[in-house]
Amino acid sequence: MAAIPPVCDFGWKAPDFTLSGVDGKTWSLADVAGAKGTLIMFICNHCPYVKAVKDRIIRDARDLEKLGIGVAAISANDAEAYPADSFEKMKEEGYPFPYLYDESQDVARAYGAACTPDFFGFNAAGGLQYRGRLDASRSETGPPDLRRDLFEAMKTVAETGKGPEEQIPSMGCSIKWKERG
């Protein structure tokens, strides 16, 4: 079922985290932060919305890193219920940025992550400036000439410290929460 996150809460501070990456390292927010801002995205392996834009996520992450934006992705899905999202399977994805596992789901809850993909773009001071979509793609890849909403927004954040006032929310599969007992 598709989920849509809430609109951007400008200035909201990114919660810190300490998570294991598929590269064997332990990462914190400070480790992934860039000089001009930070993009934290919640993704997973099995979601058709993420699969549809995986190449664009990689393209935009590489382009944003050149602008001084640090990039990391976090998977928080219940891997027992969704084995395709296990830590071992995450290692097979080959992302060129830290891909982190939130097994406890505490980080996803702290961020208020709603779906995959869910993008959180912060300025250099750590204030949220973008909580919108990558582009107009949905569960199928859109045409190649779609406006790069995430890239353009984060480019502006890198240049000015502020995100666009008008943002279109991301849409994707809901986070697969574990049952709390």
User: How many CA atoms are closer than 13 Å to the CA of 57, on its beta-carbon side?
Assistant: 31
d(CA 29, CA 127): 13
For residue 57, the SS3 value is helix
Q: Can you tell me the distance from the alpha carbon of 98 to that of 117, in angstroms, rounded to the nearest whole number?
A: 15
Segments making up each domain of the chain, as ranges? 2-174
- In tens digits, the chain (181 residues) has pLDDT values of 577 787 799 999 999 999 999 999 999 999 999 999 999 999 999 999 999 999 999 999 999 999 999 999 999 999 999 999 999 999 999 999 999 999 999 999 999 999 999 999 999 999 999 999 999 999 999 999 999 999 999 999 999 999 999 999 999 999 999 987 6
Which CATH superfamily hosts domain 2-174?
Answer: Glutaredoxin (3.40.30.10)
